[in-house]
Amino acid sequence: MYVPTKCSLARPRIPDRSRILSKASRVIVTRAETLKPLPPTDDLVFGRHSTDHMMVASFHPKTGWSAPEIKPYGPLSLDPACSCFQYCTSVFEGMKAFAGPDGKPRLFRPNRNMERMTRSAARVALPAFNSDALLELIRLLVMIDSRWVPQAPGCSLYIRPTLIGTRPSLGVAPSDEAMLYVILSPTGPYFRTGSKPVRLLAVGEQVRSWPGGTAGYKLGINYPACFSPQREAAKKGYQQVLWLLGDGTGDSMGMKVTEAGSMNFFVVVKREDEEGVDVITPPLDGTILPGVTRESCITLLRSHSPVSPLHSLDPHTAIRVFETPFTLGDMYKWSSEDRLLEAFGAGTAAVISGVGVVGLDGHPDIEIPEYEGALGPVGKALYDRITDIQEGKVEFGDWSYPCA
């Protein structure tokens, strides 16, 4: 059926209006005849299950964006020579829907995801799209598959919007054809370590990012080079990799800390000369993904005060937040001085994930203080506040976006 909406994926105010089909302002909805059984909560491993429906639209340089379709989940048909297969023209986002107090789904800061996806698409020269329309399509898709939004604590409906180049040619050139699709997956906790903190292996010989590269954008090409180091870390008893970036001298202690796996990384350091703590995370210098959860953490920490305290933190605890480079050597120094109080990763999938150990081949492990539940006071306060906002229990600006 056709559902009237304002969902033209053609970007507003582009010069050639002939490329915008009038039918693109209407969504074609075909509901699945047979619905899948819902998996048990204990089986909600990240990315394992797909919901009943997905959204798909295509772009052609002569006709623009097609009418978006919401239809039963299923395979895509693509030419083997497509740009996405040959030259990795793939952009995606990671978002979540949460059950609110009224049981209805809501999104967390989706506008920030749409802004980042727009920037990422431009970085690999994929066709522009109307991000407001895409957000409206995501909202509609989530409502259609709302029975898949888990009600259990710590669970959510993961949303994966993806834009791929589909130009069927081996020529090395931007893809002027594209497909935009959205799939959904119910998920439980990202890490299966329970209440145990994550163990990280510091890696500097192989890098995931470099100055002037693409790490500041959410592109598919950024991830596969990480798989082999992660597999080697797992063989040594670590769950993830702490990525380092050196200056070419080979000095591990002088290498800058960048990210933990695919998460932004934070440390909490006790100050030397006064009461309070410093929360430090690497700056957005092009080698770091501008994470939505990262930005949320920084905003919440900077708002902490006796007037607006973070839950479980002393309202009078002075917290300073720094977006500044630091090295693995800095972490060893802070640890030796008993000043390294916490370390945690932040990202959409895991929200906040406590780190207990940072290892480096040929050096002793950095042991970070253990806390009940794997998170220290700062990490726990952030996790509680963010999840409360996500689930609609606490209002914070326009961060919680109801789908209904």
**Mean pLDDT, residues 348-352 taken together:** 92
* Contact present, 314 and 273 (Cβ < 8 Å): no
pLDDT at res. 370? 93
Mean pLDDT of the chain: 91
State the pLDDT at residue 185.
Answer: 97
Whole-angstrom distance, CA of residue 139 vs CA of residue 105: 9
What size, in residues, is the chain?
404
The reported pLDDT for the residue numbered 5 is 53
What percent of the chain shows pLDDT beyond 90? Answer: 81
The average pLDDT across 32-40 equals 96
pLDDT of residue 192: 58
CB atoms within 10 A of CB 112: 18
**Domain boundaries in the chain?**
2-187, 198-396
Consecutive H or E run containing 288: none
* pTM across the whole model: 0.92
Residue 396 in contact with residue 301, Cβ under 8 Å? no
CB 167 within 8 A of CB 107: no
**CATH architecture for segment(s) 198-396:** Alpha-Beta Barrel (3.20)
d(CA 112, CA 53): 24
**Short-list 303, 370, 384, 304, CA closest to 340:** 370
Q: What is the mean pLDDT of residues 183-195?
A: 77
pLDDT tens-place string over residues 208-250 = 899 999 999 999 999 999 999 999 999 999 999 999 999 878 7
Q: What is the pLDDT of residue 319?
A: 95
3-state secondary structure 159-223: EEEEEEECCECCCCCCCCCEEEEEEEEEECCCCCCCCCCEEEEEECCCCCCCCCCCCCCCEHHHC
Checking if the pLDDT of 111 tops 60, the result is: yes
Mean pLDDT of 359-380: 95
Q: Return d(Cα 220, Cα 362) in angstroms, integer.
A: 32
For the stretch 130-181, pLDDT in tens is 999 999 999 999 999 999 999 888 899 999 999 999 999 999 999 999 999 9
pLDDT value at position 22?
32
**Where does 2-187 sit in CATH, by number?**
3.30.470.10
3-state helix, strand, coil in the chain (%, to 5): 25, 30, 45
Report the SS3 class of residue 32: coil
Q: How many C-beta neighbours within 10 Å does residue 283 have?
A: 11
What percent of the chain is predicted at pLDDT more than 70?
93
Query: pLDDT of 252-299, one tens digit each?
Result: 999 999 999 999 999 999 998 878 999 999 999 999 999 999 999 999
pLDDT confidence of residue 13: 44
pLDDT at 12 over 60: no
Comparing 25 with 227, the larger pLDDT belongs to 227
Mean pLDDT of 338-366: 96
Contact 89, 78 (CB under 8 A): no
Which pLDDT score is estimated for 404? 81
